[in-house]
Amino acid sequence: IERIEELKGPASILFGSVQPGGSINLVTEQPLSEPSYEIDVRGGNRNLYEGSIDLSGPLSEDGKLLYRLNALYRTEDYHRDFDTPVECFFIAPVISWAIDEHTDLNFSVEYDDSRRPADFGGVPAIGDRIADVPFTRITGDPGDEATNETLRIGYDFEHRFSDNWKVRNTFSYHRFDPIFTSNIAATPGVFGIPLELPPGQFLRSYIKVRQLSQTTALQTNVVGEFSTGSIEHTLLAGVDLSWRRFEQSGLNSTVVEGLTGPPVFDIFIPVYVVVAPPASFNGPLTPSNDGYEELYGIYVQDQIQLAKNLHLLAGLRYDISADESSPNLANPPIFRRDTAFSPRLGMVYQPIEPLSLYASYSRSFVPNGGTTVTGEFLEPERGVQFEIGARAELFEGRMVTNLALFDITKQNVATSDPNNLPPAQIAIGEQRSRGIELDVIGEILPGWDIVANYAYTDATITESNDTVNPEGNRLFGVPEHNTNLWTTYEIQEGDLAGLGFGLGVNYVSVRFGDIANSDVLEDYFLTNAAIFYERNDWNFALNIRNLFDVDFIDSSEGTRDIENRPGEGFTIIGSVSVSF
């Protein structure tokens, strides 16, 4: 990855089935015209060992054929009490071909083979708080394991007809093949068993699941710049197609601890009994669900410069989605077809050159993979977003600040059916998220950089279809206040030039652990630090995360018993890299 871009605000017209609010864009490293080689070694606590290479340069004498190769191997101990280590092998070759002065073609492959603990248990909630136990404690078995094999293949093609007009075509294939074996611990109701257990005691069930998905996507668009009188236009028009097939197979043991197996699991006095899984777990996995999704989109957008300090944007996208699923392979598959128009409007006005005032409006559309207790697809999620803001470039562009006010509404958000067992779901009705964000990034003084942001978010249910998750409840996992600060200083002159220091903090306020607001995830404050040194072709760094080893819940999937995920404790990583 060359850089990570956070695209805030309405989603691009280029992409149809995305959530409102923004997206994350991962920009991958591209081949270089001059030979470049880098070797990087990292090590840290929890037995982290990692080595990586980054090689690039020309493959032909005329420089029209270039390559880049990234590869990495990593192994480390997990931050919770599992015996299964974290292992990762990654390789990503890229070839770039300048066919002629107007035409470029890039081929890329990414392959990732990883293994890690199947940490689906997290730390359960007891009463209205997370259980008062060490956050390293697990409710599964120490040997629980998850493997993920990921393959991406794609190309990017661009042809420039002139300085003002070009056509782009991209293709990608993504295969994701995760398999996990886990011991799921939960209260009896999750298993459909009418049994009362004291707080902190859980039943466990063996689960082995494979969730294979394959996605193929193709996109073609034309970009053109032209003028109508004194008005300048940048026109974008195109189509995209994608197909995704998913297959789920697995084994869910009927041996539930405490009833037909070992004793119940007590999180306060854990006993990890080594019990052989059922004999069926050594056999083939049983297909349990498969499905197919097709998405077709057509879009057009015009970015208009009415004056030097006034820009408008107007776009429209039309989507067609078709879904097929077989949640119960004994019954006929279910089908659903939906269509949506998604407009996007925006305006930027610069009263003075360093200051931009903007406003935007967009709608979103996402097919809903959730199904009801009768096996029918839920209505697709539809969203609306409004945003106004101001962006200022200060100190001759060295410092950029952005202030935004936003309002996002989504309908038909899937949630667990309170009257039926999983995987039955209902559409909750309507959710609204609105608030304010402030970002500051830039250079305070030569060598002194800062990145800071603050967000206030009011995220609530505004319409509800059930009494368990009533109107007015807050969305789970969303803090009202979120603050981040990272600052570095690098010595500019003298014998110590290239030596730098970094310090940062993260604060996340109280959140709810589920959408019923039955349990609370405590607020937390983390401190991070770094020391680095750059000289000639060598780079040395020491990075520390969670300096004071604070216990905190990083995220939740909205259930009380499982997937309240603890964040990593004190982590120190040293790295050395050399380029030549």
Q: Which residues pair with 352 in a beta bridge?
A: 355
Residue 80 has pLDDT above 90, yes or no: yes
| Cα gap 412→429, rounded to integer Å | 5
| Cα gap 324→405, rounded to integer Å | 39
- Least trusted range by pLDDT, from 19-33, 80-94, 385-399: 19-33
With tokens 């089935």, the residue in question is 17
Cβ atoms 525, 550 nearer than 8 A:
yes
Exposure class string for 190-213: b at 16+ Cβ within 10 A, else e? bbeeeeeeeebbbbbbbbbbbbbb
Q: Is 190 helix (H, G, I), strand (E, B) or coil?
A: helix
Residue 150 class from Cβ within 10 Å (0-12 exposed, 13-18 middle, 19+ buried)? Answer: middle
* pTM more than 0.75: yes
Cβ atoms 391, 428 nearer than 8 A:
no
Cβ atoms 509, 477 nearer than 8 A:
no
- Least trusted range by pLDDT, from 206-215, 271-280, 339-348: 271-280
Q: Is 189 helix (H, G, I), strand (E, B) or coil?
A: helix
Residue 121 has a pLDDT of: 87
Cβ atoms 523, 551 nearer than 8 A:
no
Amino acid letter, residue 490: E
Q: How many CA atoms lie within 13 A of 440 on its CB side?
A: 13
User: Number of helices (H) and strands (E), helices first, in the chain?
Assistant: 0, 33
Convert the pLDDT of each residue in 479-531 to its tens digit.
999 999 999 999 999 999 999 999 999 999 999 999 889 999 999 999 999 99
Residue 158 has a pLDDT of: 98
- Least trusted range by pLDDT, from 90-104, 196-210, 459-473: 459-473
**φ, ψ of residue 283 in degrees (nearest 5):** -100, -175
Selected residue with higher pLDDT from 370 and 535: 535
Considering the chain, what is the average pLDDT of its residues?
Answer: 91
| Cα gap 545→45, rounded to integer Å | 11
**φ, ψ of residue 552 in degrees (nearest 5):** -155, 155
| Cα gap 559→575, rounded to integer Å | 38
| Cα gap 564→514, rounded to integer Å | 10
With tokens 């998604």, the residue in question is 342
Cβ atoms 131, 65 nearer than 8 A:
no
Residue 404 has a pLDDT of: 95
- Least trusted range by pLDDT, from 332-336, 337-341, 388-392, 458-462: 332-336
Between β-strands 129-130 and 65-76, what pairing exists: parallel, antiparallel or unpaired? unpaired
Helix (H) or strand (E) holding 273: none
Percent of the chain residues past pLDDT 70, beyond the cut: 96
Is residue 49 very low, low, confident or very high in pLDDT (cuts 50, 70, 90)? Answer: very high
Residue 11 has pLDDT above 70, yes or no: no
Residue 570 has a pLDDT of: 98
| Cα gap 78→143, rounded to integer Å | 12
Q: Which two tokens stand for residue 137?
A: 């404690």
Residue 330 has a pLDDT of: 65
| Cα gap 72→76, rounded to integer Å | 13
Selected residue with higher pLDDT from 314 and 11: 314
Please tell me the total number of residues recorded for the chain in this structure.
580
| Cα gap 454→507, rounded to integer Å | 9
Residue 405 has pLDDT above 90, yes or no: yes
Residue 524 has a pLDDT of: 98
Q: How many CB atoms lie within 10 A of CB 157?
A: 17
Q: Which two tokens stand for residue 18?
A: 């995305």
Residue 6 has pLDDT above 70, yes or no: yes
Q: How far is CA 328 from the centre of its chain?
A: 29
Cβ atoms 508, 477 nearer than 8 A:
no
Convert the pLDDT of each residue in 101-155 to its tens digit.
999 999 999 999 999 999 988 999 999 999 999 999 999 899 999 999 999 999 9
Q: Is 447 left (phi over 0), alpha (psi -120 to 50) or beta?
A: left
Average pLDDT over residues 539-544: 98
Amino acid letter, residue 481: H
| Cα gap 219→236, rounded to integer Å | 13
Helix (H) or strand (E) holding 282: none
Cβ atoms 200, 267 nearer than 8 A:
yes
Q: Is 230 helix (H, G, I), strand (E, B) or coil?
A: coil
- Residues 78, 82, 87: CA angle, nearest 5 degrees: 45
Q: How far is CA 379 from the centre of its chain?
A: 24
Residue 420 has pLDDT above 80, yes or no: no
Cβ neighbours of residue 101 under 8 Å, at least 6 residues apart? Answer: none
Residue 547 has pLDDT above 90, yes or no: yes
With tokens 């992409």, the residue in question is 15
Amino acid letter, residue 261: G
Cβ atoms 66, 33 nearer than 8 A:
yes
Cβ atoms 128, 115 nearer than 8 A:
no
Residue 83 has a pLDDT of: 94
Q: Which of 509, 411, 382 is nearest to 457 (CA)?
A: 509
With tokens 């008005």, the residue in question is 231
